[in-house]
Amino acid sequence: EPEVTQTPSHQVTQMGQEVILRCVPISNHLYFYWYRQILGQKVEFLVSFYNNEISEKSEIFDDQFSVERPDGSNFTLKIRSTKLEDSAMYFCASSEALVAGGYNSPLHFGNGTRLTVT
C-alpha cells in the first residue's frame, strides 16, 4: 500500500537555525498538509496546500514557516529561525480528491519528524 514518507525521523537543531522537513506524499494525491503534535497530545493544523499554493494556514504558521513542492513529488516545510517552542512532532499528510470534493477523502499521514530545538 502506498505510504507517505517523511525524512528525517528525528532532527535536532539549535535555536535560531533553519530546518527543512521533507515529505513524499502518495503519488496520486492532490492535497497536502502539515500538522504538528506536541508531547503526544493534540494534533494541530499548520497548513494545507493544493494546486501549488497554500490553501489555508493557521496562526501557528507565521512568517518563519514556509512550504514548497519543488519537484512534483517532494513537499517540504521550512522553519527559518527555530524557537524552543517549535519542538514537536511534525506530520505530513496527503489526501486524494473525490468527485464530491475532498471531504470524503481521509488523510494519509507519514510517521513524522521529531524536531528538537535546543
Partner 1 sequence: AQSVAQPEDQVNVAEGNPLTVKCTYSVSGNPYLFWYVQYPNRGLQFLLKYITGDNLVKGSYGFEAEFNKSQTSFHLKKPSALVSDSALYFCAVPSTSGTYKYIFGTGTRLKVLA
Binding site for partner 1 (CB under 8 A): 4, 31, 33, 35, 40-43, 45, 48, 50, 55-56, 91, 93, 95, 101-112
Nine cell digits for residue 22: 521533507
Instruction: Return the number of the residue (14 or 59) whose C-beta is nearest partner 1.
Output: 59
Least Å distance, CB 59 to partner 1, is 13
Q: How many Å apart are CA 19 and CA 106, to the nearest integer?
A: 28
Cross-strand bridge partners of residue 102: none
Least Å distance, CB 70 to partner 1, is 22
Least Å distance, CB 81 to partner 1, is 26
Instruction: Return the number of the residue (56 or 68) whose C-beta is nearest partner 1.
Output: 56
Concatenated DSSP letters for 6-59?
EE-SEEEE-TT--EEEEEE--TT--EEEEEEESTT--EEEEEEEETTEEEEE-T
